[in-house]
Structures are given as structure tokens and as C-alpha cells.
Chain A
């Protein structure tokens, strides 16, 4: 049956016999007249009639239509390529699927195998039930569905996903026993592994007993498990296990960050048939600290490693929080001299540094507490630190003048009072170098550089076994670093200061290595939570992807996290307390998987098949129907064209839109520019609407006249001016705002003030015109008060009368003064000392009624006479307008010309 063509509804092929009739029908129908749009059709009416052209449908159009009809008939007959031989018999079919973690590796193949069985059952009209063997994500025990049509079961099958826990075949068997009704055939898609001592033999036996059984297995050795790595000094040791029977090859492991970047890749070689592989991933500590996940790469044998191939690395593998505390916090960070300056720089690349008071530091869990020459007070302080040390913390202390003065109980060795100075002015001794580090010291292997010398130190009282407690000594044998284990923790003392006051040690690279080794000794921050519940934060699904926890997931007591086996209530993933600074703990599936053993072999009498590699069956019907539709669409276009609708391009677009849904949506609005964008397309002047219709009309006419004058005289291209209401309209498109101040002007609202302030801050210029200065004095009484009212809340900079050399007087024309309709009054601009916006004044205040001088009516005349008068004054008014526009558009660009003499002089030299 392989590679063959079969029809699901062969009786429909009879309809092919009707094709000749269709041919005859198409042949006799005459074509419709071409339609042609033609503007001078008027001249074609009432023409004398001539003979008709013979009507004939062209042969190629006939052929096209016949092929389309034949394709429709063939497509409806449901031809199937590679139809599968279904399970024989008429009995209903039970499909049992292992959907535990081990099925994830080749899940698509498993679905294809089960789906093929459903297709065959569908064609045979058999009813189907499904039985997944793992507990559902809701925690429900596995149970079979009722009998249903195969199409319905297909949807149920498609909804199945592998779970990140083991299947429970015993529960599935129990459910099957209580459910079984009548005889049925069954297909068991098994993962081929024994889980928890149950190798599946009981389940298979029960299925074989009920009827014919087919067992589908994947390739041996497909399931792989990546065990949690072991952290060593500068590498992670990886271990991989797999089911027996796999071929030789290799497995890649990626170290990934929370945001999905890959920081490293290790390759683990796999021998043929081997079930274990080891390898190491070497990463510098700085980089290792940002790794949160180790992920097994998919390859040919294991396309999807799934949850068992994903290991989450929590704080135990990660950076250790280090608390730093100095005696004087305020001076502690002073560069090169501060008590914590060198510590902070040495540790921050590899450790998480925390600062604060002692109480604050100890209130959160801490791996290392560093005290730089800070004595501990008797009582509460000493008790708290003692509790920290005995609970497993590492206390790292540095000596110094204060500690030399007065020791306390939390020191590894008793100290002599006072420090010992080596090589001072009053001493014969030379500064001491470091002796080689003794065996057994954590510093063993490091080489002390010869140039590191110690000039001052604190001395330990000679006590028995002082040598055993010393990790480092000076060349004369006095201890430099001592330690003592106390409770579960440890106290370490450097007999010198943490800065370079007493020794050169903090200046050398050795200091960094020593500190890192000490910090690496700390136990990390694990295991002190007791019974506090840790809620699931993010959990893995069966494919090893992190996501929101399923509804059934519940919290785990912290102390029992390591012993918890993943299950629907406790899926693998991140657990912890939510929020900033909360610790996160990882629950890994692979930490709890026993050795992988193969499942029982197929019972006698059952068929065994291999999943994967089965050519999928292909239903050709839809493709044939689609081809027929395309042909009919082409036919539609051709006939439209032959009728001369003149819509060739548009009809093609419509047909495409019908054939490709979504195309039409992509063609939607959006190509037309929104009206809001229109002001940005051209430069425009603008005026503020005062509410007085006549004043607004004067402003508009004035700006129209000015725009025309500017367009004619300069390279600036100004479009029609607009009216604006600050606070309602967007001001950001306009360089210049004309604001005529009327005596009865109202104070602007809060939004208007905010909009105007933003406008001025971003380089906009407002021209306030009170229309009452110079020769116009007394015309507009009260405008000055109105101006004060308007600008009360505006951020107007300090003002000064317009200086003689201001750019406004020379931006385009050289102007002696700035007349408008009136002349002779002062004009105010921002004082030049204000360097914001390159000294361009955001406001220009005057009272010359410039708008009236610029105004041009519909007939092109100037409707308002200027005072005292003369064409010269109007010309100057226009010239001021040009200067103003150029000033608004180019700022102080023209002002730079004051440097021209200096530049010329320099060029001349």
C-alpha cells in the first residue's frame, strides 16, 4: 500500500462522465460584448448598423474550464497518497500514550504515530478512546476518555503535551481495569523506559488481554538526562545519563543566562551503548555567576531533550553575597585611601557586594561578612555576629589601628595590644616580605610577589598550634592570615589593613586571588529556611521551557526541597519568595531520576512497530480543489478582461485578496497620512487665538502678508499661517508664535502654561505684541497689565531692552530700529547672559502692532496705515518681520559673523 494512490470516495469519479456535456454547454454560449469606457462615446451613438462579428468561445478558455471541472471532481473523491494500513478489525481502538518526561525527546514522532492510527480509524469508522499514562497537570490520576469519533479524539490528542514528571503506569492500569468495557484493540505508544520499578509489563499484558495490541517504540537510547553539575574551583563538572542501546555520538551542553544568551558550550562524548558520559565546562567565575541554566542540545537522536535535559542553577552555584562594613562608613569609599576601596574593587566582579549597617547586613542571608578594622561592641552586636558565624557564615576581618587598640572575642587568635611597626624611622627592622604559602592553606599554589611588603601588622599572642591556624605568614614567621572554625562557620583575620596603609598587599594582584579564595570557601547561602514554604515562581514544562507555574503547583517547605520528587503538585522549576532580593531555589527533575532501565519487551501476540520514519499520508483532495479554485479565478479574470471592464490591475488585486486572506487587511488605512501629521509637512507661522475676532483676523492677515514677503525675498518657504490654542493644539511644529495681547486677555489655563513653557524650552519663540508703544501710546490701555497677567506663570527669562548689536537687528537686513504700525517704543528680549538655547531669546516683547503693518487683505492691499507713516516705515516693518523669521529659523547663526574679522586675521597670518 506504500507510495500508492487511493480514493476515499471513489464513486464520485462517475461525475467525470459529465464533462462532455459541460463541453457542449460551454461551446454554444455566445460571448458577451466587450465593455470599453470611452469619454467621447457621445460621438458613437446613432451610427448606422453594420454586420455582427461571429461569436465563439476560444478553445483555450474551454480547456481551462474543463480542467477546472475535472479537478473539482477528482478533489471531491478524496485521493490519498500513502494511505496507512489501519489496525485490522472493527473493534474500537484505545490509544495509550506515555506522556512523561522521557517522551519529550521525540514527541512529534509519537504524535505522528498516534495520529496515523487515528486517521486509519477515522476512515474505517471506528470509535477511539485515549489513555495518557501520566498524572495530568491538575494532579488528576490518569484515566481513559470515553469512546468518541476519531476526529474528536484527534483534537484531544493534539492537546496532549509531555509532562515534566514520570508516568504512573500502575495508576493507568488501575483506571483501565475499572473502565474496561467489552473487547477493543489498542495501540501503546511507549517511551521504552521503566519508571520507579514499573517496567510496563502489567499494563501491556492487560491491553493484550482485551484484544489485539500494537506497541510503538522510539529509537533506543533517545531519552537523555543531564544531572545537576558539580561546582569546582573554576569549572562545572557535568554528567549525562541515557537509556541503554544508543549509538555512539556526542552531546552538547549549553550554559545559558536568564535572558537566553549562551555563555559556554561543553561537548560530552558518548560511546556506543554507553549509558553515562562526563565532561567539564570551564568558565571564569565572573561569567559562571551569570549562568542560570544548563541545557542539553538537541541532536539527531534526541531532537528535544526536554525537562530532563534542563538543569537550573540556583544560588549554590552562583555568586555569594558579601557584606562589607567599615568603622567609618562615610570615608570608606575614598579612592585609594578608603577602608573598603580595594575590597570593593577586588570582590565586585565575582561576588554580590552589599553595604549597610550591621543590622541591615545580617537581616538578609549573607555568605561572607567582611569587617575592615571594625571592632564589635559587647552585647547585641557580638551576639548577632556570633550567631551568624555559628550558623555557617564566614567572618573575614582586617586589622587596623582600632582593632590593635582593643580586640574582641570574635578573633581567630588572641592579639597583642598595639601594632608592630616594621621599618619605620625609629626601627632597625626592614619591611617584611611574604613567606611561601604553606601546604593545606587555601592560598597554596599562589606565588607571593617579591615586591609585596608589610610595614605594620598586629601580632598574635603565642599560643599552641598557632602555626596550624595560619594560612599565610611573613618571611620572619609571624602570621599574616589566621583562621578559626567556630560552629559551622569560620573566622578569618588578615593581620594588616584592607587598604594600603600597612602593607603593599592590596596593591597587588595577589590580594584579589586571596580574597576570592577566601570567599569561595564560604558555604553559600543555603539551607537555613527551615519549614518556610517556597512558592513556585517559574516552572519547566515537558519540553524544558520555563513558564508560569500550572494551577496545581504548590509551595514546598524549604528544608524538604532537596528531597522533593517532581510531580504535578511540585513541577521542576524555580521556587522561592517573590520580589526583589528574595532567594530562589531550583527543583531539578534530573536530580531525582534513578538509573535508566529499559521497559519490558512486547508480550507475545502483540505487534511491535517503530515510531518515526513512517511517511506521513497525504490527502491530495484539498490541493486539487485549491488548484481548481485558482483556475476558476484565472477564468474570472480572463472573462472580466474580455468584457473590457478596464479593471485589470484592480481585479487582479481583488482576486489576490480573496485568495490570500490577510492581504486586504494589510492594505488597510495607514497609507493615507493622518491629519495630525499635516502641520509637520511645511514650515508655518502661527498666532495665538485671543478670542477677539477682529484682532485674530488682523493677526492672520499680518502673518499671511509676512509669509508672502519672506517667500519672495528669502530662501525660506512658509506655508499658510495657522491659528493655535495653546494647551489644545500641538505647538511643537511651529518656530514662531505671534501673541497679540488684548487689555481683557484672560490668564491661560494650566495646560496652556505647560504647553507654552515646553514650547519655549525647546527653542520656540513667542512675540508678544501689546500694541501700545511709541507712536501708538495710549491706544490699547491696560495691555501692559494684561501682559503681566498672561506671563505670570510662564518661565520668562530675565529681560533687557534690545541691544544695538542684537542678532534680531542683523539676521537678514541691517535695521536701525524695529517699527511696526507704530514706531519708537522699546523692544525687550532675554538678557544675553542666559546661555540656554544658545542665547536665542524665547520671548520678544514689544508694542509696535507689527501684525497690522504686515497685514494684506484679499485684494493684496495693506488695509492699515502706518504711523507716523511713509512707505519707508512699512518696508522696515516687513524687514523686521523677515529678520524675526530668520532669527526663529536659524537662531544665532548670523551672530557668529562677529568672529569673521578674527578668522580672516588668522587666515592672513
Chain B
């Protein structure tokens, strides 16, 4: 609905609309020692932050300016006021930018790439509202704050290339969007280094319904968009069952691959509303306590 209402609006605005229905997403912050930044996660220890943490007795060597005189006046000892150290989780995002993504089986449906962009930005909006930091794989510094969404949309337009980032902190959380139609060995080759770095994440496999059902007839020459060899099919009706069989085999292989690498796999058809996929992502990322 929100998508239809604002069909002419900029992508970042539509993403905000799609994300408006879900509560702010606070990623379970686990093992974030290497990626800490100030944020909303209380670190359960003293440091830079706004929330009161504890009063600590004055020790020799402490700056006299830090003495909390109001507290100290209540007793004979001097106390220092300490605040809780706050930090944020960084979530790395990536979207497949290959030519095959720029395709839609029907003009009434968005292309897979448009839907991937929308989902990515909607997820980012949720994360940013939750105070988290968001970055693109291979796309530079992490971003935070409400104003970061347009900047992220700009970077997303420029993003291309495989999911790889040398500067990615270990144990980062990541979400990868794509159609994952490449042969399985190639996919494994690409995803294995990410899994090896300790990153944990989610694969969102987007597909157009036409790719599932092959709704064509007659004599058709099928041309893949990446410039490889076209396939001439004299009579499409005759091979539909065979095609579905091959596609199912690929899906099963992809699920096995994701499981073996420790990724969670979500499947999403572009004929479904984006909120469905967003809800699934939200549940995948949110800690059990905030659901």
C-alpha cells in the first residue's frame, strides 16, 4: 500500500514509508568489541555516555574537577560520577548489481533490483531509527543518524561489484540481497571468504514470479541479460515442467550452501509486498527479547 501510494516518490522516502510500520530495530549486540561506537547499547561499564552508571569513590590521581560534590556532601567520602559507556552495532549491507537484477517479468512489477534497493533502504531506516550504524560492503565508513538515509541511497546507486570488503570488522552482521542465480560453485567461492571472516548474516534471495512459472508460449529466444549465449526454445509449453525441476534443484542447492556457511536464507518474490520480507528480516535480526 505504502509502496503504491508513493510510487513517484524518491526511493529513500518510499523505504521510510515501508519501514514506518515496524518498531525501531535494535540488533542484538553480541561480540561487538571490534566495532564499538557510541550508541544506544549500554555497555554495562563506565565510559563516555549520557546515562548515569555509578558513583565511585575518589581515588588519588583522579581529576578534582570530576568530583560530584552533591553526592560527596552526603557522607564523609568523596565520590566521582560515572556514566555508562554506550556503543552501537554496525550492520553491513550489500545488493547484487549484476545485469540480471534489472529485470521484471511484468511491467506492473518492480524489477528485482528496485525491490532489493527498497528492502535495503527500509531495513537501513529501521536500523538507523534504532540507533545502529549501517554501511555498504565496499562502500566506506559506517553511517548513523536520521540524515544518513539519503546519503546511503546515494552510495547505493554507485555500489557495484561482488560482496567483498577488506575493512569489514570481524564478526560484523551483514544482509545480502540478490537473486543468487549464478551456478552454485561460483556462489560458494564468493560467499566463503565472508563466512570465514566470522561475519554472520542473512541472504535475501529475490525472484520474479515469471522466473518460477515460465509463463511464455510459442517459439521464443531467451536472452540472459549478462550477455552470455541465448537459448532458443521452439515450443516453450513443452519444456515448462523440466525448467521448474531445474529451478527447484538450484533453490535446494542454495539453501544447503547457505546452511553450510552459517547464513540464514530468506526468499522473497517481487509480487509480494515488501513489508512481508521486511518483517522476516526484522525477526531475523532482532534479539529474542524485543520481538
- Give chain A's interface residues, CB within 8 Å of chain B: 33-45, 47-53, 55, 644, 648-649, 681-682, 704, 707-708, 710-712, 715-720, 858, 860, 868-872, 874-875
**A34/B224 contact (C-beta < 8 A), A43-B247, A43-B250 known:** no
| Segment of B143-151, B194-202, B264-272, B273-281 in the binding face | B143-151
**Contacting pair B234 A53 (CB below 8 A):** yes
Considering the chains assembled together, what is the distance between the CA atoms of A41 and B230 in angstroms?
A: 7
Contacting residues, chain A, for B181 (C-beta < 8 A): 39-40, 42
- B243 and chain A: residue at smallest CB distance: A43
Q: Which of B47, B144, B222, B232 interacts with A711 by CB under 8 Å?
A: B144
**A35/B221 contact (C-beta < 8 A), A41-B231, A42-B228, A870-B63 known:** yes
Contacting residues, chain A, for B228 (C-beta < 8 A): 41-42
**A871/B235 contact (C-beta < 8 A), A35-B221, A38-B222, A39-B211 known:** no
**Contacting pair B103 A39 (CB below 8 A):** yes
Considering the chains assembled together, what is the distance between the CA atoms of A338 and B151 in angstroms?
A: 69
| Segment of B1-9, B114-122, B212-220, B254-262 in the binding face | B212-220
**A36/B147 contact (C-beta < 8 A), A50-B235, A712-B131, A860-B36 known:** no
- A871 and chain B: residue at smallest CB distance: B48
> How does the 8 Å CB contact mask read for B78-117 relative to A, with 1 for contact and 0 for none?
0000010000000000000000110100010000000000
**Contacting pair A37 B223 (CB below 8 A):** yes
Contacting residues, chain A, for B219 (C-beta < 8 A): 33-34, 52-53, 55
B225 at the interface (CB under 8 A from A): yes
**Contacting pair A40 B151 (CB below 8 A):** no
Jot down 6 A-B pairs with beta carbons below 8 A, ordered by A: A39-B103, A39-B211, A39-B225, A41-B231, A649-B107, A871-B48
B167 at the interface (CB under 8 A from A): yes
Q: Which of B39, B218, B225 interacts with A37 by CB under 8 Å?
A: B225
Q: How far is the CB of A70 from the nearest CB of chain B, in Å?
A: 31
Contacting residues, chain B, for A41 (C-beta < 8 A): 222-224, 228, 230-231
Q: Which of B35, B218, B243, B246 interacts with A53 by CB under 8 Å?
A: B218
Q: How far is the CB of B215 from the nearest CB of chain A, in Å?
A: 11
Contacting residues, chain A, for B226 (C-beta < 8 A): 39
**Contacting pair A44 B247 (CB below 8 A):** no
Contacting residues, chain A, for B107 (C-beta < 8 A): 648-649
Report the interface size class on chain B.
Answer: 35 or more
B192 at the interface (CB under 8 A from A): no
Considering the chains assembled together, what is the distance between the CA atoms of A860 and B230 in angstroms?
A: 48
- A862 and chain B: residue at smallest CB distance: B48
Enumerate B15-50 residues with CB–CB distance to A below 8 Å: 35-39, 47-48
**Contacting pair B145 A711 (CB below 8 A):** yes
B287 at the interface (CB under 8 A from A): no
- B239 and chain A: residue at smallest CB distance: A47
Q: How far is the CB of A46 from the nearest CB of chain B, in Å?
A: 8
Contacting residues, chain B, for A874 (C-beta < 8 A): 48
**Contacting pair B242 A47 (CB below 8 A):** yes
Majority-rule SS of A interface residues: mixed
Q: How far is the CB of B202 from the nearest CB of chain A, in Å?
A: 22
- B210 and chain A: residue at smallest CB distance: A38
Q: Which of B144, B167, B234 interacts with A51 by CB under 8 Å?
A: B234
Task: Tally A-B pairs: CB < 8 A.
Answer: 138
Q: Which of B131, B224, B239, B250 interacts with A50 by CB under 8 Å?
A: B239
Q: How far is the CB of A596 from the nearest CB of chain B, in Å?
A: 66
B157 at the interface (CB under 8 A from A): no
Contacting residues, chain A, for B230 (C-beta < 8 A): 41
- B146 and chain A: residue at smallest CB distance: A717
Considering the chains assembled together, what is the distance between the CA atoms of A671 and B83 in angstroms?
A: 51
**Contacting pair B233 A44 (CB below 8 A):** yes
Q: Which of A682, A712, A858 interacts with B144 by CB under 8 Å?
A: A712
**Contacting pair B223 A44 (CB below 8 A):** no
Considering the chains assembled together, what is the distance between the CA atoms of A36 and B217 in angstroms?
A: 11
**A42/B224 contact (C-beta < 8 A), A708-B144, A858-B141, A858-B167 known:** yes
Contacting residues, chain B, for A49 (C-beta < 8 A): 234
**A40/B48 contact (C-beta < 8 A), A33-B221, A52-B219, A718-B147 known:** no
Q: How far is the CB of A482 from the nearest CB of chain B, in Å?
A: 83
Q: How far is the CB of B243 from the nearest CB of chain A, in Å?
A: 6
- B224 and chain A: residue at smallest CB distance: A41
Q: Which of A36, A53, A860, A869 interacts with B221 by CB under 8 Å?
A: A36
Q: How far is the CB of B214 from the nearest CB of chain A, in Å?
A: 8
B185 at the interface (CB under 8 A from A): no
Contacting residues, chain B, for A52 (C-beta < 8 A): 219, 234-235
- A711 and chain B: residue at smallest CB distance: B145
Q: Which of B83, B100, B229 interacts with A39 by CB under 8 Å?
A: B100
Considering the chains assembled together, what is the distance between the CA atoms of A868 and B66 in angstroms?
A: 12
**A44/B147 contact (C-beta < 8 A), A33-B220, A870-B63 known:** no
**Contacting pair B147 A719 (CB below 8 A):** yes
Considering the chains assembled together, what is the distance between the CA atoms of A49 and B145 in angstroms?
A: 58
> How does the 8 Å CB contact mask read for B46-85 relative to A, with 1 for contact and 0 for none?
0110000000000000010110000000000000000100
B138 at the interface (CB under 8 A from A): no
**Contacting pair A44 B239 (CB below 8 A):** yes
Contacting residues, chain A, for B183 (C-beta < 8 A): 42
Considering the chains assembled together, what is the distance between the CA atoms of A715 and B220 in angstroms?
A: 56
Considering the chains assembled together, what is the distance between the CA atoms of A51 and B63 in angstroms?
A: 90
Considering the chains assembled together, what is the distance between the CA atoms of A192 and B142 in angstroms?
A: 89
Contacting residues, chain B, for A37 (C-beta < 8 A): 103, 222-225
B238 at the interface (CB under 8 A from A): yes
**Contacting pair B146 A868 (CB below 8 A):** no
Considering the chains assembled together, what is the distance between the CA atoms of A870 and B167 in angstroms?
A: 30
Contacting residues, chain B, for A50 (C-beta < 8 A): 234-235, 238-239
Contacting residues, chain A, for B151 (C-beta < 8 A): 682, 719-720
Considering the chains assembled together, what is the distance between the CA atoms of A82 and B91 in angstroms?
A: 79
Considering the chains assembled together, what is the distance between the CA atoms of A719 and B48 in angstroms?
A: 24
Q: Which of B145, B222, B233, B250 interacts with A708 by CB under 8 Å?
A: B145
Q: Which of B66, B146, B222, B243 interacts with A872 by CB under 8 Å?
A: B66
Considering the chains assembled together, what is the distance between the CA atoms of A860 and B219 in angstroms?
A: 58
Which of A42, A711, A858, A871 has most chain B Cβ within 10 Å? A42
Considering the chains assembled together, what is the distance between the CA atoms of A89 and B205 in angstroms?
A: 85
Q: How far is the CB of B171 from the nearest CB of chain A, in Å?
A: 14
Q: How far is the CB of A677 from the nearest CB of chain B, in Å?
A: 14
Considering the chains assembled together, what is the distance between the CA atoms of A40 and B242 in angstroms?
A: 13
Considering the chains assembled together, what is the distance between the CA atoms of A50 and B239 in angstroms?
A: 8
**A872/B65 contact (C-beta < 8 A), A44-B243, A53-B219 known:** yes
Q: How far is the CB of A363 from the nearest CB of chain B, in Å?
A: 68
- A872 and chain B: residue at smallest CB distance: B66
Q: A712-B38, A870-B65 are in contact. List 16 more A-B contacts (CB 8 A).
A: A36-B222, A36-B223, A38-B224, A39-B211, A40-B181, A44-B239, A50-B238, A52-B219, A644-B220, A682-B150, A711-B145, A712-B144, A720-B151, A860-B36, A860-B142, A871-B47
The 5 closest A-B pairs by CB, nearest first: A711-B145, A717-B147, A39-B100, A50-B238, A41-B224
Considering the chains assembled together, what is the distance between the CA atoms of A870 and B66 in angstroms?
A: 8
Q: Which of A40, A710, A875 interacts with B211 by CB under 8 Å?
A: A40
Considering the chains assembled together, what is the distance between the CA atoms of A716 and B228 in angstroms?
A: 49
**Contacting pair A38 B145 (CB below 8 A):** no
Contacting residues, chain B, for A872 (C-beta < 8 A): 65-66
**Contacting pair A36 B150 (CB below 8 A):** no
**Contacting pair A719 B221 (CB below 8 A):** no
Contacting residues, chain A, for B211 (C-beta < 8 A): 38-40
Q: How far is the CB of A607 from the nearest CB of chain B, in Å?
A: 66
**A34/B147 contact (C-beta < 8 A), A50-B235, A860-B37 known:** no
- B233 and chain A: residue at smallest CB distance: A44
- A38 and chain B: residue at smallest CB distance: B222
Q: How far is the CB of B89 from the nearest CB of chain A, in Å?
A: 12
- B151 and chain A: residue at smallest CB distance: A719
Considering the chains assembled together, what is the distance between the CA atoms of A772 and B48 in angstroms?
A: 26
Considering the chains assembled together, what is the distance between the CA atoms of A696 and B187 in angstroms?
A: 43
**Contacting pair B48 A875 (CB below 8 A):** yes
Q: How far is the CB of A892 from the nearest CB of chain B, in Å?
A: 24
Q: How far is the CB of B184 from the nearest CB of chain A, in Å?
A: 12
Contacting residues, chain B, for A720 (C-beta < 8 A): 151
**Contacting pair B229 A45 (CB below 8 A):** yes
